[in-house]
Amino acid sequence: MSCLSKNSAPVSPDRRLFLLGIGRTGIAAAAAHVVRAIGTILGPGAALLAAGRAAAQPGDLLIRPPEIRSKNGVLDATLTAAPGRVTLGDFAFPGLLYNGSYLPPLLRARLGDTLRITLKNDLPDQPTNLHYHGMSVSPQGNSDNVFVHVHPGQQFDYVVRIPANGRQGPGLFWYHPHAHGMADKQVLGGMSGGLVVDGSEQLFPMLQGLQERFFLIKDPYKDGDNQAIAINGQINPVVQIRPGEMQFWRLANIGAELFIKLRIEGMPLYVIATDGHPLRQPRKATQLFLGAGQRIDAIVIGPPPGEFAMTTVPFQNEAWKTPAPSQQIATIVSAGPHFSRSTPEAKILAQRLLGPAWIDEVRSAAIARVRTVEYSSTPNRDTFFINGRVMDENGIDQTVLLGDTEEWTIINRDQQYHSFHIHQTAFLVTEVNGVRRSEGSLRDTFPVPPATDAGLGTLKVVIPFTDPVIVGRFVYHCHAADHEDKGMMGIVEVVSSQSTTNRQGAGHAGHGHP
Ligand SMILES: [Cu+2]
């Protein structure tokens, strides 16, 4: 049974309803009473919430994902994919899980480490595999190779070497299944987790000693028209901070289809990295737009005492649907004595990235070639195309020479958001809908705006295919996983000038079945 209703955030803790003598029926009618009750329970700060949205009941304290860290240069982990029950507030559904958990382990490694991940497929009826999203690692063999299919009852041993020197730097990444046609269902079911390359404090020494918080955002299967949004597998968790305290927040949309705009009333974020790529200097943001796959690392400062709602901001995604109403997805509680070593905003914004930045090289590189990638779909949206074709796992759509930097224009003919994601390398966004953009950091996933009456949606990016570790065959696609599964994915092969195309080695090695 679910208490998600069209216009309200989930009303979850039964105990408050019990205290109020309200049964589980008639909850919508009781919402106003509940909000007043929260005001009584939590004091004047809660008025902020009550004024915002009804039925925004704070849940439990935000939990930390369990972690598996590398030891002596190796991260050993086993991920077992299997069905399992998921309960999110009052919403329960049959999930597809890693190690039985909707919040599987956060993997933490360092540059130069090797990930040794055993993937066991205990799903009864579908293949799966693992993708290491955002990592500049090899796409071949038993590394980050999405052409591996691990069938039910089989297991596969991934060995992913993170170069000590190269394009890959410290930052926030994630892992999820990428078996073509299966990704959406599996990620919606719960199969995705965080992946961190440690060392961000070497880029921004101010991070040293700060409390680190993860906000791993997921969109479970819809309950009718209602879309629950979970953070670390929790509905509307409470995040504690002291007034004036700095914390290091790491937000990742590791969901399947979700595009969200979010904000915290009265609390800006000082963004230091996007998709694991540092900014030259922090940027103040009062609103974030995160499509599935995108991440933000940010410093925050504890606001004055009180409660602050993290809410979604309605926006037009699909032209044929009314925007989803705002919902509260977390509650920030600022309380306790004012932090003694408080840092003013100006000091955060005055930080400068230590060391060279890949973005400078990308910005100044000569463009070796331009390409156009056009997104479209059938009118009933059961098939999605790139350049009029659906994904063909045995083909190659683009061949790129290692060392080249290219400019790709993604054109969106559909009246809904898509996104552009490419494996193994980040890119620089230079233009959105024909308007020049000055980006302070690289991305690996970025929304492609919908077509409107004003014209087609366009995104222009500059992609460096310059790291020798990425030689091989890999994919680019829309990261709304349902679109990707329904065809909106293409294959690029990066070839070094010395070698000819090696389809055998890159494409068909390492199948998980005998
Ligand atoms: Cu899409």
Centre of ligand 1 from the C-alpha of residue 23, in Å: 41
Which residue is associated with the tokens 């009303």? 11
Centre of ligand 1 from the C-alpha of residue 430, in Å: 20
Centre of ligand 1 from the C-alpha of residue 419, in Å: 6
Phi, psi of 201 (to 5 degrees): -70, -15
The helix or strand, by DSSP H or E, that contains position 173, with its residue range, turns out to be: strand 171-176
Look at residue 67 in the predicted model and tell me its pLDDT. 98
Q: Is residue 477 part of a domain?
A: yes
Q: Is residue 496 part of a domain?
A: yes
Centre of ligand 1 from the C-alpha of residue 414, in Å: 9
Q: What pTM was computed for the model?
A: 0.86
Neighbours of ion ligand 1 (CB under 5 A): 418, 478, 480, 483
Q: Check: CB of residue 70 under 8 Å from CB of residue 110.
A: yes
Centre of ligand 1 from the C-alpha of residue 187, in Å: 15
Q: Check: CB of residue 178 under 8 Å from CB of residue 131.
A: yes
Q: Is residue 451 part of a domain?
A: yes
What residue numbers bound the domain in which 438 lies?
A: 358-513
Look at 54 and 500; give whichever has higher pLDDT.
500
Q: What is the pLDDT of residues 287-344, one digit of tens each?
A: 999 999 999 999 999 999 999 999 999 999 999 999 999 999 999 999 998 887 667 8
Q: What is the pLDDT of residues 360-398, one digit of tens each?
A: 999 999 999 999 999 999 999 999 999 999 999 999 999
Q: What is the pLDDT of residues 146-186, one digit of tens each?
A: 999 999 999 999 999 999 988 999 999 999 999 999 999 99
The helix or strand, by DSSP H or E, that contains position 285, with its residue range, turns out to be: strand 277-285
pLDDT of 203 over the 60 cut: yes
Q: Is residue 424 part of a domain?
A: yes
Query: Which residues lie closer than 8 Å to 318 by C-beta, 6 or more apart?
Result: 415, 416, 417, 450
Centre of ligand 1 from the C-alpha of residue 108, in Å: 30
Centre of ligand 1 from the C-alpha of residue 292, in Å: 10
Q: What is the pLDDT of residues 210-247, one digit of tens each?
A: 999 999 999 998 877 789 999 999 999 999 999 999 99
Query: Binning pLDDT at 50, 70 and 90, where does residue 424 land?
Result: very high
For 174, other C-beta atoms within 10 Å of its C-beta total 23
Look at residue 41 in the predicted model and tell me its pLDDT. 33
Looking at the structure of the chain, the number of domains it has is: 1
252 by Cβ neighbours in 10 Å (0-12 / 13-18 / 19+) ranks as buried
For 465, other C-beta atoms within 10 Å of its C-beta total 23
Q: Is residue 380 part of a domain?
A: yes
Centre of ligand 1 from the C-alpha of residue 393, in Å: 18
Where residue 404 sits, what CATH number does that domain have? 2.60.40.420
Centre of ligand 1 from the C-alpha of residue 376, in Å: 9
Look at 39 and 124; give whichever has higher pLDDT.
124
d(CA 160, CA 158): 6
Q: Is residue 316 part of a domain?
A: no
Q: Is residue 9 part of a domain?
A: no
372 by Cβ neighbours in 10 Å (0-12 / 13-18 / 19+) ranks as exposed
Q: Is residue 19 part of a domain?
A: no
